[in-house]
Structure 1
Amino acid sequence: MHTTAQMLLKLKKVPNVIALQASKIKFPEKFKGTIIEKWADYWKNLFIDYRQMIQDLRTDIQDDPRKAFIWTTSLFGIYALAKNNPSEIDFKDKLRIIGNEMALVSEDCQNPTSINHLKFLNTCYNEGVIHYKSFGIASIMYTSELNSSCDLYKAHCSYLKPSYFSLPSRIVDVGLMGNWWNIYMKMASYDVKH
């Protein structure tokens, strides 16, 4: 608590010290009324606005530290999720690794659920109906009925396209915190036949 108070005190002094130094700087007479003076005024006003924002932030932190802590942890949490958001390449790599590991296991020992899921994903990739969508902090892999290069009437007719309400049933996997969770759960016991 003592170090937090010292940090807030230093934050309080910094804008005043910088403002004092800025007021000591004099602008030459030959540049008055030119674009250089307008440019300098712009940066001076921008600095004043940011100084006021820092002072307001400091008072908000002092008034409600619990709220500031919640906001800070939320922002760091969102940053961590965005930083560890898995890509489609991660999904393909995981699929190849699992396929290679399952090839080493005897067919008598392979879990049928894992085998069927792996065959389904490989079939979707072969048909070109599996797609990737990133939401910044999480990603999904979903299937469509037709390949994007398909030129049938069904692909162009708006009445035959799937609705947004059918999207949850078409989601194959959800990626969050650097892992694809459905493939992780279905392949956890791929070498155990019940």
Structure 2
Amino acid sequence: MASGAASRRPLWERLREGRLGRWWRSVLLDYASACREAAGAARRRPGRALGAAGLLAGLLGLARACPDEAALEAALLEASGRLLLLSPATRSAQAEAHVGRLLALRAEGRLAVRGLGLLAVAYEAPAPPDAALYRARCPHLAPAAFAALPARRRLLLLDVGFGGRWWLLRARMRDCDVNADEFRALPAPLRRLSARHLHSARNERLFDQKFQPVRLPEPDERHEP
């Protein structure tokens, strides 16, 4: 009789009184009490609540702006395009070497990017990700062989992405049109430049004045015949 009465109860009531229903109900009650306590604490200390909300929003913004592999590829193509517009004599050797290395690793499929939440890292992978057959057959590409190598050869960090930018590539591309090797033969005092040595604003002003029309003084009417 009891089993027949239990079977005649509605499905929603049976789910609510079951073990899973009681568990969900206790979880919801816990979350509701935690939300009430958080709202009470926010009313008591609104400044701290606003600070915590601002910090959480900032962390979420940084997580959303974390660059990925596509962002690194776009930045790398832009950097290579900037270097191609320069003559080989004026390119920075550091920038050219860094970009060339990244392009070579990208062509080999060994330029890997790993997202870590707020930031991302670009590193040199020991082998392309689709080389499973070679890892299985070649002893030099097996995971055990790489485990025996030092840590600095297993994971070689190439760049760090944070805030939507790849910072090491950005630092290498700064002053990419200045070749420091051209000035090594100069004396030490001539290798350093200060703000007083630069006269670009004055030179540009004189250059613009060169194209202005010449204004002749108007003739005096008293000297006219």
Counterparts in 2 of 1:167 and 1:156: CA distance versus 1, 3 Å:
closer
TM-score, normalised with respect to structure 1: 0.70
Corresponding position of 2:10: 34
After superposition, the C-alpha distances for 1:50-75 in whole angstroms (9 at most, x for unaligned) are 54333211222234445434432231
Judge which range, 47-56 or 135-144, deviates more. 47-56
Corresponding position of 1:17: none
Counterparts in 2 of 1:164 and 1:38: CA distance versus 1, 3 Å:
farther
Unmatched tracts of structure 1, length 5 or more: 1-31
Corresponding position of 1:158: 144
Unmatched tracts of structure 2, length 5 or more: 1-7, 181-225
Asked whether the 8 Å contact 1:82–1:137 carries over to 2, the reply is yes
Residue among 96, 100, 112 paired with 2:81? 100
Q: Which one has a bigger Cα radius of gyration?
A: 2
Asked whether the 8 Å contact 2:125–2:155 carries over to 1, the reply is no
Where 1:106 maps in the other structure, the secondary structure is coil
Judge which range, 139-148 or 48-57, deviates more. 48-57
Asked whether the 8 Å contact 1:84–1:177 carries over to 2, the reply is yes
Corresponding position of 2:166: 180
Residues of 1 paired with 2:43 and 2:102: CA distance?
A: 53
Structure with more contact order per residue of length (Cα contacts < 8 Å, sep ≥ 6):
1
Q: How much is the aligned-residue C-alpha RMSD, in angstroms? A: 3.0
After superposition, the C-alpha distances for 1:142-172 in whole angstroms (9 at most, x for unaligned) are 0033334144212215154366842797110
Residues of 2 paired with 1:52 and 1:65: CA distance?
A: 19
Residue among 129, 148, 159 paired with 2:110? 129
Residues of 1 paired with 2:154 and 2:43: CA distance?
A: 44
Counterpart code for 2:152: S
May I ask how many residue pairs the two structures share in their alignment? 163
Counterpart code for 1:153: P
After superposition, the C-alpha distances for 1:95-114 in whole angstroms (9 at most, x for unaligned) are 11111111111111111110
